[in-house]
Amino acid sequence: MKVIGHQTHHTIADFDSIFNYLHNYFTTKQPGLHLFPELFLTGYPLQDLCLQKEFILKYEQFINKINEWSESLGDRFPNTCLLLGGLHYDLSASQMAERIENCIYALELGKKLKKVYVKKLLPNYDIFDEKKYFAMGTECGVWQYQGLNIALMICEDMWYSEQYHLDPALDLKNQGIEFDLVINLSASPFHIRKEDARLERSKIISKELGAPFFYINRVGGEDEILFDGRSLVMDGEDLVFKAKIFEAQVFEIDLSKFSKKEASKEELLNKNRQKSSWESLFLPHLDNHQLRKLNDKECEVLCDALEFGLTEYMSKSGFKKVVIALSGGIDSALVLALATQALGESNVEAIYMQGQYSSPISYELSREMCDHLGVALKIMPIKFLHSTIRTQYKQNFGEELHGVSDENIQSRLRGTLLYARSNQTGAMVINTSNKSEISVGYSTQYGDSVGAISLLGDLYKTEVYALCRYLNRVSPGIIPVGIIDRPPTAELREGQRDDQSLPPYEIMDTILECFLSSSYSRDEIISLGFSSNYVDQILKLFSISEFKRFQFCPIIKLKSKGYGFGHRLPITKSTSIYK
Amino acid sequence: MKVIGHQTHHTIADFDSIFNYLHNYFTTKQPGLHLFPELFLTGYPLQDLCLQKEFILKYEQFINKINEWSESLGDRFPNTCLLLGGLHYDLSASQMAERIENCIYALELGKKLKKVYVKKLLPNYDIFDEKKYFAMGTECGVWQYQGLNIALMICEDMWYSEQYHLDPALDLKNQGIEFDLVINLSASPFHIRKEDARLERSKIISKELGAPFFYINRVGGEDEILFDGRSLVMDGEDLVFKAKIFEAQVFEIDLSKFSKKEASKEELLNKNRQKSSWESLFLPHLDNHQLRKLNDKECEVLCDALEFGLTEYMSKSGFKKVVIALSGGIDSALVLALATQALGESNVEAIYMQGQYSSPISYELSREMCDHLGVALKIMPIKFLHSTIRTQYKQNFGEELHGVSDENIQSRLRGTLLYARSNQTGAMVINTSNKSEISVGYSTQYGDSVGAISLLGDLYKTEVYALCRYLNRVSPGIIPVGIIDRPPTAELREGQRDDQSLPPYEIMDTILECFLSSSYSRDEIISLGFSSNYVDQILKLFSISEFKRFQFCPIIKLKSKGYGFGHRLPITKSTSIYK
């Protein structure tokens, strides 16, 4: 029997496009077992959308349409069965959702959809809220098709939960069935270094259940969350197939190629529980007491992820072009490079907005970069506007603007002008903040923190450098060396440099990584060799800047622990927590 | 035996202040059973804070300190027992949280804290994420103290969940025990019209369990969520006591005043399940196919709530003064009136920022209002800055700014100047948007949508009018009649009026209420008598403005269904959902 994996890519709730995919694919005979991702029929994550009556009505109509289409095919598609991820609703008399299941439907072409499995392990940590919406399945995923014993799982089911004491893979093992095939339909969000764990666990499951493991993942960028695809087939220790990253793909594997194996007697699932639990995802990424360095392969994947996430957000929001505020610094340079690679130079515009404290080199480096890339660079000075506000402020309030008030005006004027250009041309503004700045609130709210989506918000400053150096190795000259070499500065006052206000980034990034993982206390971080002054300064800045993160734009998620939807802290709380 | 209710008010994680409360209260003999709210020992909601190692360490130290203090009291406080809401952690070897319980501790003074009950019904809808953090209790809340049978519940336990099939009150009933007392320790977020349901359910529980029902709620404003207090004692049908709203209070009730009652045989809990489920909270508030009108009592409570929420957010963020952009319109007028009532006129500053299209009446009405209230009104015109940007834009980009680009510049300049003043004086900016505008995106991002906290973001425009009229009845002249009578306008272009872009607010607000409750589909709303043009226009505007709500400030929650943390929708999704 052939197994056909459909690594698909659809917009959330785009029922027409999902229907058309099925309708157009099954025009000629396609015998075999066709696998589609988790929640293929709806998209994921839906959040409150799955509770809205209008969504439920449209989804139920769509399900009826699939059933009618399938029945209309009669017996023209023998031996063709689809396993599709979707929702199952129990509705009240007034068509409100009483119970929602995240399930697998089997569709034998010619017949109707039939629910064959309900997800058991509902992730509810970090960005996940599945227990908010879905009811837990209680039955083991055992399904027979054409004389084969098939084990079914949905995404998280392949992992183990310490908190809920659930191990669906082990439950399957304990059924005492000789499985011919193990299938996992997934919608698994991307983060760097996740695939290693995924491959490892796939091997364990395949060996322990004694059957090839088919893992089908969706592709898509949903605001901050990316789905990377990379569907795979594992046979024991052997990676038989791996699909593309961030790209739809259909692949076919004949089951006859697998020889029958004995299920392992080693109790691998039990033995490897700890590193298969989600809690293990939130350990800090350290190497020798320092933030672990990105290697070239990781840099490549991160650039791919950011370019994919950007194009996804834009196409789904109806944008074709972007506008980027270039400062002559490293963050906006990396954003410009990534956007140009993703969209082509004709869809990118840079604006340089010199202020009173901008040094000539900032403009020269911006110019050099845009010339190299072929990107249009526009100029819009803020000096005169800034001095006008100063004068007007003095006239109207009878005092001089001082310090931070004066600094922030420049940043907010830039935000205003950048958005004027965006409104005028229909180009989307990309935010240019990085994770280090966001962590300590080193930005001006409604100023340099504006934007529709953040590319660098899950990358520490030292990782922004690493990515720039990587890009320069792959595409020499893309980031001017002068930008990499100059000390970071916001240029909002005379001679300003980041290191006047903040610890060195190498130190700060490591401290932040230890703290954000939730698994290091203040004293433990200090015991790694960091000064208590630095640690206390950073934790304090982190604590008091929550109000800025609250109003921040979506940040493309690259790490197991980042800001955005998976980060939830009260803005107001006792100030004594972090000291 | 005396029962003493402590309706307390502490900042989240302010362990010193919580300890001092206990330490200072129990200086002289206070025999009796002392009841404290849910999570009194930590504050609520904690969100990810309860997973942070630094928080856990400090909390465990605090628990040890309480135990040491209690043991040091020896036998000086006979017959004194405290029931305290708190967290119980199971920690791993590395002091990470493996399991967290939301529980009740009994503290007999002289002894250590003893866990006596774990919350069973963990709310996980809307703003609640308790299943994300807490493990569910499985034991019934039966506790003996001084020969009394006492039923224990924590907050949501008094309700019923359709989704989880849990009814902790009925479980208690089914124990077949004659209870002398029923206790519920709560941290129950405020919303309008919630108290009626709370009182109704209290009666049912008291009657069905045949014992007086003590309900102890906390007081506090935690960003967008308010805790209203209003602790109560219900004996059958009789409301024996009700504590103050939005204010800490200690009250004492002698158990001897209650006569022994038979538990009801009527199965009231079963009969009233449907209206005791959380799903019932999300029905739209309609009256004769229109948004239900606010009566005077409700207006009073809403004004109290907003003033309390504002002072809470400010004191916890370290602000003493506010600055408000007055436009001469109704929203900023209501914000100014509420802020002045809450903080006193000397802590409020208004700024009027006239633009090219501002009519003289806008300034006159602002002036009239500030003179009446005794609030300082400052002037900061944007005309010249606006025209400078127009000129500069043309010089630099070779074209005129048009339409929305030009309109938004005015709004963003106002945001910039308002924040310049805020930065300079340390006064907090209050946002002035209302729920109708936020729903359809009728605002400029980083412009009129700026602010640290939103007071009106959970009030529809028609409710803003109702509150203004109510305030004018209570404090005649506080809102100038001219502001109430003039047609709403953003004054960003010549002759602009809201009704050029939007349906009339009476219609829009009702349609939004039907839709946001999730329980009406497009066609059902139309069947109430609304034109499909209006319905489709509003649903479309709602759908495409999610990106603005994503970056919005915290909105003080006044309704069962509002924006903010309890509202979670993808920004990007198929545009075909709402048509």
**pLDDT of residue B92 exceeding 90:** no
Q: Nearest by CB to A11, which of B11, B135, B573?
A: B573
Per-residue model confidence (pLDDT) at position B575: 84
Q: What is the pLDDT of residues A196-243, one digit of tens each?
A: 999 999 999 999 999 999 999 999 999 999 999 999 999 999 999 999
User: Is ipTM strictly over 0.90?
Assistant: yes
**Residue B119 among the catalytic residues:** yes
**pLDDT of residue B518 exceeding 70:** yes
The neighbour count for residue B64, using CB atoms within 10 Å, is 12
**pLDDT of residue B119 exceeding 80:** yes
Say which residue, B165 or B107, is predicted with more confidence: B107
Q: Nearest by CB to B570, which of A47, A53, A385?
A: A47
What is the maximal distance between C-alpha atoms in chain B? 87
Closest Cα of chain A to B472: distance in Å?
31
Measure CA B134 to chain center. Answer: 22
**pLDDT of residue A13 exceeding 90:** yes
Q: What burial class does residue A25 get, using C-beta atoms within 10 Å of its C-beta: 0-12 exposed, 13-18 middle, 19+ buried?
A: middle
Per-residue model confidence (pLDDT) at position A263: 81
* Average of per-residue pLDDT across A126-134: 93
Mutation target among B59, B349, B518, B527 for the A interface, most CBs of A within 10 A: B518
For A541: left if phi > 0, alpha if psi spans -120 to 50, otherwise beta; the answer is alpha
Measure CA A157 to chain center. Answer: 20
Asked if A567 contacts B567 with a C-beta cutoff of 8 angstroms, the reply is: no
* Average of per-residue pLDDT across A337-350: 98
Q: What is the pLDDT of residues A274-315, one digit of tens each?
A: 777 766 767 788 888 899 999 999 999 999 999 999 999 999
Q: Nearest by CB to A446, which of B446, B519, B554?
A: B446
Percent of chain B, pLDDT > 90?
88
**Are A577 and B129 a contacting pair at CB < 8 A?**
no
Task: Report the C-alpha gap between A321 and A244 in whole angstroms.
Answer: 26
From the candidates A50, A81, A103, A155, give the one annotated as an active-site residue: A155
Per-residue model confidence (pLDDT) at position A261: 81
Task: Report the C-alpha gap between B432 and B219 in whole angstroms.
Answer: 25
Q: Nearest by CB to A14, which of B17, B420, B576?
A: B576
**pLDDT of residue A156 exceeding 90:** yes
**pLDDT of residue B162 exceeding 80:** no
Q: What is the pLDDT of residues A247-278, one digit of tens each?
A: 999 999 999 999 888 888 888 888 877 777 76
pLDDT band for position A458 (cuts 50, 70, 90): very high
The neighbour count for residue B484, using CB atoms within 10 Å, is 15
Q: Which residues from A are below 8 Å from B540, CB to CB?
A: none
Mutation target among A573, A575, A576, A578 for the B interface, most CBs of B within 10 A: A573
Per-residue model confidence (pLDDT) at position B270: 83
Closest Cα of chain A to B407: distance in Å?
9
Q: What is the pLDDT of residues B22-55, one digit of tens each?
A: 999 999 999 999 999 999 999 999 999 999 999 9
Q: Which residues from B are below 8 Å from A401, CB to CB?
A: 420, 424
Per-residue model confidence (pLDDT) at position A278: 66
Per-residue model confidence (pLDDT) at position A96: 82
Asked if B213 contacts B184 with a C-beta cutoff of 8 angstroms, the reply is: yes
From the candidates A81, A119, A437, A561, give the one annotated as an active-site residue: A119
- The amino acid present at B418, given as its one-letter code, is L
Residue corresponding to tokens 């948007």: B433
Asked if B157 contacts B169 with a C-beta cutoff of 8 angstroms, the reply is: yes
- Cα B501–Cα B505–Cα B507 angle in degrees, nearest 5: 105
- The amino acid present at B392, given as its one-letter code, is Q
**Are A572 and B420 a contacting pair at CB < 8 A?**
no
**Are A424 and B573 a contacting pair at CB < 8 A?**
no
**pLDDT of residue B264 exceeding 90:** no
Per-residue model confidence (pLDDT) at position B172: 95
**Are B13 and A574 a contacting pair at CB < 8 A?**
yes
**Are B135 and A313 a contacting pair at CB < 8 A?**
no
From the candidates B81, B103, B155, B370, give the one annotated as an active-site residue: B155
**Are B553 and A550 a contacting pair at CB < 8 A?**
yes
Closest Cα of chain B to A382: distance in Å?
9
Measure CA B148 to chain center. Answer: 36
Strands A80-91 and A32-35 turn out to be parallel
**Are A49 and B446 a contacting pair at CB < 8 A?**
no
**Are B408 and A419 a contacting pair at CB < 8 A?**
yes
Asked if B335 contacts B432 with a C-beta cutoff of 8 angstroms, the reply is: yes
Omega before B45 within 30 of 0, i.e. cis? yes
3-state secondary structure of B340: helix
Per-residue model confidence (pLDDT) at position A55: 95
Residue corresponding to tokens 């403009």: A363
Q: Which residues from B are below 8 Å from A560, CB to CB?
A: none
**What does each C-alpha distance from B534 to A329, A376, A427, B437, B550 come to in angstroms?**
48, 42, 29, 15, 24
Percent of chain A, pLDDT > 90?
88
Average pLDDT, chain A: 95
Q: Which residues from A are below 8 Å from B405, CB to CB?
A: 420, 423-424
Closest Cα of chain B to A548: distance in Å?
9
Residue in B closest to A90 by C-alpha:
B163
Per-residue model confidence (pLDDT) at position A283: 77
**Are B54 and A574 a contacting pair at CB < 8 A?**
no
Average pLDDT, chain B: 95
Omega before B212 within 30 of 0, i.e. cis? no
Beta-carbon pairs below 8 A across chains A and B: 266
Residue in A closest to B412 by C-alpha:
A416
Q: Which residues from B are below 8 Å from A393, CB to CB?
A: 380, 417, 420, 424
* Average of per-residue pLDDT across A550-559: 98
Q: What is the pLDDT of residues B458-510, one digit of tens each?
A: 999 999 999 999 999 999 999 999 999 999 999 999 989 988 889 999 999 99
Q: Nearest by CB to A14, which of B96, B565, B574?
A: B574
Q: Nearest by CB to B573, which of A13, A163, A393?
A: A13
Q: Which residues from A are below 8 Å from B57, CB to CB?
A: 521
From the candidates B50, B81, B119, B561, give the one annotated as an active-site residue: B119
Closest Cα of chain B to A37: distance in Å?
18
Q: Residue A472 — φ and ψ, nearest 5°?
A: -70, -25
* Average of per-residue pLDDT across A87-116: 93
Mutation target among B551, B557, B569, B575 for the A interface, most CBs of A within 10 A: B551
**pLDDT of residue B278 exceeding 70:** no
Q: Which residues from B are below 8 Å from A515, CB to CB?
A: 54
pLDDT band for position B160 (cuts 50, 70, 90): confident
**Are B384 and A379 a contacting pair at CB < 8 A?**
no
Measure CA A564 to chain center. Answer: 10
**Are A12 and B550 a contacting pair at CB < 8 A?**
no
**Residue A540 among the catalytic residues:** no
Query: Torsion angle of alpha carbons A222, A228, A232, A237, nearest 10°?
Result: -120
Omega before B554 within 30 of 0, i.e. cis? no
Closest Cα of chain B to A560: distance in Å?
15
Closest Cα of chain B to A30: distance in Å?
29
Closest Cα of chain A to B521: distance in Å?
5
Asked if B210 contacts B262 with a C-beta cutoff of 8 angstroms, the reply is: yes
Q: At what angle do helices B461-474 and B296-317 cross, to 10 degrees?
A: 100
Q: Which residues from A are below 8 Å from B59, CB to CB?
A: none
* Average of per-residue pLDDT across B504-520: 92
* Average of per-residue pLDDT across B293-305: 97
**Are B54 and A522 a contacting pair at CB < 8 A?**
yes
Q: Which residues from B are below 8 Å from A551, CB to CB?
A: 551-553
Task: Report the C-alpha gap between B214 and B233 in whole angstroms.
Answer: 5
Q: Which residues from B are below 8 Å from A446, CB to CB?
A: 415-416, 419, 446, 450
Mutation target among A412, A430, A450 for the B interface, most CBs of B within 10 A: A412
Q: Which residues from A are below 8 Å from B125, CB to CB?
A: 132
Percent of chain B, pLDDT > 70?
99
